[in-house]
Structure 1
Amino acid sequence: MRILRAATVTATVTALAAAATGCGGGSTPSGGGSNDSPRTLTYWASNQGPNVEADKKILGPELRKFEKRTGIKVKLEVVPWPDLLNRILAAATSGQGPDVLNIGNTWSASLQATGALLPWDKENFDEIGGRDRFVAPALGATGAEGKDPAAVPLYSLTYALYYNKQMFKEAGISQPPSTWDELVADGKKISKHGKWALGAEGGNLSNNIHQAFVLAKQHGADFFDSSGKPTFTSPGAVAAVKQYVDFMAEDGIIAPGNAEYGQNQSLQDFAKGRTAMVLWQAAASTFTAHGMKAEDWGVVPVPVPSGAPGTGRRTNSMIAGINIAVFKNTDNLDGARKFVKFMTSDAEQRLLNKTYGAIPPVKAAQADPAFSRPDTKVLRETLTRSAAPLPQIADESQFETSVGTAVKDLFADAAAGHRVTTASVRARLAEAEQQMAK
C-alpha cells in the first residue's frame, strides 16, 4: 500500500534550510502551472495506490468534480515516491513547481525550513473551515512547534499489531498480546519448526526509526532535547533500541534473515504464514493481494510495557501519513486554498481515506462506518489517543538515516551471532549522534 511510503521513504536532505530560504514554488509556463490560466492549478499527488495509473483513476473524477464546482481546472501529476522529495526540492530552489502538492508528514519541518511552502496561519486555516476540524495529533506532524504549519493533514496512518489467528491457535494462545512481555512469551511458543513470531525489516531505515521512536517514548525518552540537540545516547533511547534488536538477539522471536529485509518483505512473510505477527500501517489490502482472507488475521494496538495504550509512556505509534501543501509563490493562491478546502472537506476525506485504507485527519469524516471496522477502528483510536509525531526538526531525514543505520547495523550483529549489549548499542548511537553534528 503506497500510503505508508510517505512515512517510510528515507532521503538524505542536505542543507535544506539554506537551499531555498525566501524561495517559493509557484507555477511558471515552463513548470506547466497556473500561469497559462488564472483558472488552472497544477497538483503533484504522491503515489498512494498500487501504481500511478490507479491514482489517476481514483483522483480524476474528484478533480473533475472540483472543476465543475469552481471552474478551476486541476492539472494532475502523480509523482512516484522515489522521485517526490527530490522533485519538491528542485521546485523549491528553482521557483518552478506546482501550486499544490502532497508531502510525507515526516518531511514537514524540513520543507518548512526552506521557506518555500505557504504557512497555514489562522487566516489560511479559516479559508478551509478552521484548524479545529482536524484531530490534534495529525496537526502535530505539520511543522516545527511554535510555528504556523507548513501543510495540512490529508491522509493519516498509525501502526498496529497484525497477527495470524491460525498460528496463534496452533501454539495454544487464546488472545493476542497487549504488553511486550506477553508478546515475547507468545513469541517463544510460536518460534519453532522454521516459523517465527515477529516480522521485522532490519534493512528498512525508516521502519527502524519508527519502532525505536515509539519504544523510546515508552522508556520516557526522546531522541532530541527541547533545543533540538540530539540525545541518542540517553538511557531511555539506548534501552529502546536494545529492546527492539533483542527481539532477535536475545528473545529469538525474529528470524536472523530479517536483518536484511527491506520494504514490505515482512508483510510477504506474514501473508505466507512464515511469521505470526507484524507491526505495520494499514496492511489489510496487502494481505488480500497476497491471498489472505479477512478472517485469517486479526489486529490489535501495538503493545505497551503494561496496561493499555494512552498518552505519555503508553504511546504506541508514530503518526504517519500525507499532508497537502501550497507553494508560497503560487500565482493562484485563492484557487489553491479552495482546492485544499475541497480535498479536506468531509465528503472527500471519507471517500479518499476509505479508498486508500487510511484514517481521515478531519474529525467529522471519521464518523463513517468504514472507519469503525475492527482494523480501521484500531488505527483510528491509536491516531486520536496514543500516537505521537516524529521529531519536527529540519534535520529529520538525517535523523532517520543516522539512527536507522545504527539499528540496521545492530540487527546485522545479532544475525551474525554477535552479542548485542547496552554498551554496543550506546556505541552505535554515539556514532549516529556524531554524524548529526557534521
Structure 2
Amino acid sequence: MEITRKNFIIGGGLGALSLALAACGSSPESSPNTGGGTGGAIDGKGKTLTVLFSTKPQYPEEQKAWFAKTAEDFKTLTGATVQWETFPTANDEMTRIQTSVVSGTGPDVYGLGTTFTPTAFSTGAFVKLGDNEWNQIGGKDKFVPATLGISGPDKDNLIGIPFVSRPFVMAYNTELLAKAGIDKPATTWDEFAEHGKKMTTGDEYGLAVAYKDNFDPWKFIWAMSIQAGNPIIDGKKARLDDPTVAKAFEAYFGWMTTDKCVDPAAVGWGNAQAVAAFAAGKAGYLPMTSPLSIPTLDKSEVKGKYQYALMPMVPPGETSRPADGVEAASILSGDNLVIADYSPNKDLAFAFVKMITDADAQSNYYKIFGEVPTNVEAAKALESDPLVAPALDAASKSVATPFSGAWGDVQLALTNVAVQTIPDLSAGSVSDASLTARLKDAQSKAQAALDRAK
C-alpha cells in the first residue's frame, strides 16, 4: 500500500514513521561554501527558508555557531533568511513531520537519518530527484556513490541527498590491548568477547556497550544476523524468529551476563555514557561508534592512545562467515537531506543543499564534528588520515537496511527486545524462555508491519 498524505495515519504510517525516526538521528552540521552555483544567482531577498534539523547534544555550542554562520552565508549568497527548526527526540521529529505531511505545509528542507528515508519516500511528500534537480546541487557524481545506496528504492526514484556518512566502527584502547597481550583487534564476535574478558580487571572493562541506548542495540543484532545469512526481511516475510537472531541477542546480552566484561552500570547507559567510559580509559573496546567521537576522544585521557578498526564481520559461534553470510561492516548510515514537495521555495532549498554539500563545507564540518563527508572531493582528502581510514573502509563495506516502509516497525521490534530485557540484565541473567517469548512477539509485530505495507 502506498502511504499517501490522506491515508498516512490510517494505514499504519504513523507507527512506521515514529520507528524509522529512531533509526539514526539526523544531525547535519557543516560550514557552507558559497561559491560555484550551477544555475546562476538566486534572488531570495525578502524570503525565508525553513530548515528542520535535529539538535546535536554532544556539541550544542558548536551547532549553535554553525546555525548562525550558515544562515549568514546563505543570506550573503541569496538574500534569503534561514529559519531553523529543531527537534530533540525522535518522537518530536515524528510529530513535526507527520503534521507537515498531512497538512502540506511546514519546513522546506528536512534532515533525515538514512533509515528513515524509505518511510519518507512512501509518503509521496518529498521531491523526486531527476537530472534537473541533481544539476542544481552540483550533479549526482559530486557524491560518494555508496552514500546514495539508501536515497530511494532504485536509481530512478531517489529523494535523499546524502549529507553525511556515519559508518560504524569500533574504537580500541591501544594500551589496554597491549597490556592484555592482544596484538590486533578482534575480527570475529567470539574473539571480541574473548578479548573483552582478557581486558577486564579491577575497574577496567573490556567493552563499553550502551544497553539502554535508543539507537545502538538493534544495529548489533542486524549485523550479526545478516553476517550469518539471515536478511531479517526476506521478501514479504519477517525473520526475527530465525535462530541467528536469538544467537545474536544471546551474544550481545552475554557480554554482560556470561562474559562479565561490561561495567554493570552499562545497563543504564546511552551512547554518551559508553563514549565517556572509553574516553576515561576504562574500556578496551568501544563498538558501534564513528569518527563523530573524535572531537570528544581527542580532548580526553585516551588522546593518542586509541585507534579505530572494523567491527567483527564473522557471526557469533563461527570462525568464518558462512557462505550465505553478508560482509556487513556497518549499516549504510548517515543523514540525507530531502526537500518538501509542497515547498514554495524549491529554488532556495536546492541552493541551500548545494551550499552545505560542497567540498569546503563538508571538509569544515568534518573538522568540527567528525562526521564523514559524502562529497567525493572532501572524502578523498581524508584517505591519508590513518585514524579515519577504517571508517572509510567500513563505508565501502556498509550494507543498506531494507528499503521498506515497514522497516521502522521491524527495527523497533528488535529494539523492544533489548528494552524489555533491561530488568533481566540488571538481575544478572536472561533466560531462554524470556528471550524466546520476546522474539515471538517481535516477529508477530514485524510481520504485521510488512503485511500492512504490501
- Calculate the TM-score normalised by the size of structure 1: 0.82
378 and 432 in structure 1: CA distance in 2 versus 1, 3 angstrom threshold: same
Match of 2:400 among 386, 389, 392: 389
Match of 1:148 among 157, 178, 181: 157
Paired amino acid for 2:148: L
1:44 counterpart SS class? strand
Q: Does 1:76 align with 2:84?
A: yes
Structure 1 CA distance for aligned equivalents of residues 306 and 436 of structure 2: 37
Q: Does 1:319 align with 2:332?
A: yes
241 and 378 in structure 1: CA distance in 2 versus 1, 3 angstrom threshold: same
Q: Deviations over 1:41-63 (max 9, x none)?
A: 22223323645553231233333
Q: Does 1:373 align with 2:385?
A: yes
Following superposition of structure 1 onto structure 2, how do residues 225-240 of structure 1 map, counting pairs within 5 Å? 225-227=234-236, 229-240=237-248
1:98 counterpart SS class? coil
Paired amino acid for 2:231: D
1:93 counterpart SS class? helix
| Contact 1:222-1:237 at 8 Å conserved across structures | no
Match of 1:434 among 419, 444, 451: 444
Structure 1 CA distance for aligned equivalents of residues 420 and 10 of structure 2: 23
Paired amino acid for 1:211: F
| Contact 2:233-2:402 at 8 Å conserved across structures | yes
1:330 alignment partner in structure 2: 343
Q: Does 1:285 align with 2:298?
A: no
Match of 2:122 among 105, 113, 130: 113
Structure 1 CA distance for aligned equivalents of residues 178 and 377 of structure 2: 38
Structure 2 CA distance for aligned equivalents of residues 435 and 14 of structure 1: 17
1:428 counterpart SS class? helix
Structure 2 CA distance for aligned equivalents of residues 418 and 182 of structure 1: 22
Structure 2 CA distance for aligned equivalents of residues 374 and 396 of structure 1: 35
Structure 2 CA distance for aligned equivalents of residues 434 and 396 of structure 1: 14
| Contact 2:105-2:343 at 8 Å conserved across structures | no
1:107 counterpart SS class? helix
| Contact 2:45-2:80 at 8 Å conserved across structures | no
Shift of 1:252: 2.9
1:340 alignment partner in structure 2: 353
Structure 2 CA distance for aligned equivalents of residues 272 and 145 of structure 1: 44
14 and 373 in structure 1: CA distance in 2 versus 1, 3 angstrom threshold: farther
1:301 alignment partner in structure 2: 310
Structure 1 CA distance for aligned equivalents of residues 308 and 412 of structure 2: 29
Following superposition of structure 1 onto structure 2, how do residues 263-282 of structure 1 map, counting pairs within 5 Å? 263-279=271-287, 280-282=289-291
1:189 alignment partner in structure 2: 198
The two structures, once aligned, show a CA RMSD in angstroms of 3.0
| Contact 1:16-1:110 at 8 Å conserved across structures | no
1:362 alignment partner in structure 2: 375
Q: Deviations over 1:98-140 (max 9, x none)?
A: 2112112221111222222112234322332332332233212
Structure 2 CA distance for aligned equivalents of residues 155 and 49 of structure 1: 17
Shift of 1:144: 3.6
Which structure 1 segments of 5+ residues have no match? 1-12, 22-35
Shift of 1:257: 3.5
| Contact 1:318-1:390 at 8 Å conserved across structures | yes
Shift of 1:411: 5.5
38 and 307 in structure 1: CA distance in 2 versus 1, 3 angstrom threshold: farther
Match of 2:172 among 152, 163, 173: 163
Query: Greater share of helix residues, 1 or 2?
Result: 1
273 and 387 in structure 1: CA distance in 2 versus 1, 3 angstrom threshold: same
Shift of 1:208: 0.7
Which structure 2 segments of 5+ residues have no match? 1-8, 18-43, 450-454
Q: Deviations over 1:399-433 (max 9, x none)?
A: 23221121333454354243544x65443222112
Paired amino acid for 1:109: P
Structure 2 CA distance for aligned equivalents of residues 326 and 286 of structure 1: 32
247 and 18 in structure 1: CA distance in 2 versus 1, 3 angstrom threshold: closer
Shift of 1:176: 2.5
1:295 counterpart SS class? coil
| Contact 1:38-1:332 at 8 Å conserved across structures | no
Q: Does 1:129 align with 2:142?
A: no
18 and 249 in structure 1: CA distance in 2 versus 1, 3 angstrom threshold: closer
Structure 2 CA distance for aligned equivalents of residues 58 and 364 of structure 1: 21
1:5 alignment partner in structure 2: none
Q: Deviations over 1:270-321 (max 9, x none)?
A: 22233221111222223345x324212222111222679xx96221111222
| Contact 1:214-1:318 at 8 Å conserved across structures | yes
Count of residues paired in the alignment: 405
Q: Deviations over 1:229-276 (max 9, x none)?
A: 321112333333333223233333223442332342211222223322
169 and 390 in structure 1: CA distance in 2 versus 1, 3 angstrom threshold: same
Structure 2 CA distance for aligned equivalents of residues 69 and 152 of structure 1: 21
100 and 318 in structure 1: CA distance in 2 versus 1, 3 angstrom threshold: same
| Contact 1:317-1:386 at 8 Å conserved across structures | yes
Structure 1 CA distance for aligned equivalents of residues 443 and 156 of structure 2: 26
1:61 alignment partner in structure 2: 69
User: What is the identity percentage for the equivalent residue pairs of Structure 1 and Structure 2?
Assistant: 24
1:374 counterpart SS class? coil
Paired amino acid for 1:226: G
137 and 324 in structure 1: CA distance in 2 versus 1, 3 angstrom threshold: same
**Mean CA deviation greater in 118-127 or 214-223:** 118-127
Structure 1 CA distance for aligned equivalents of residues 131 and 437 of structure 2: 45
Q: Does 1:201 align with 2:210?
A: yes
2:85 counterpart SS class? strand
Structure 1 CA distance for aligned equivalents of residues 156 and 246 of structure 2: 30
1:250 alignment partner in structure 2: 258
38 and 424 in structure 1: CA distance in 2 versus 1, 3 angstrom threshold: same
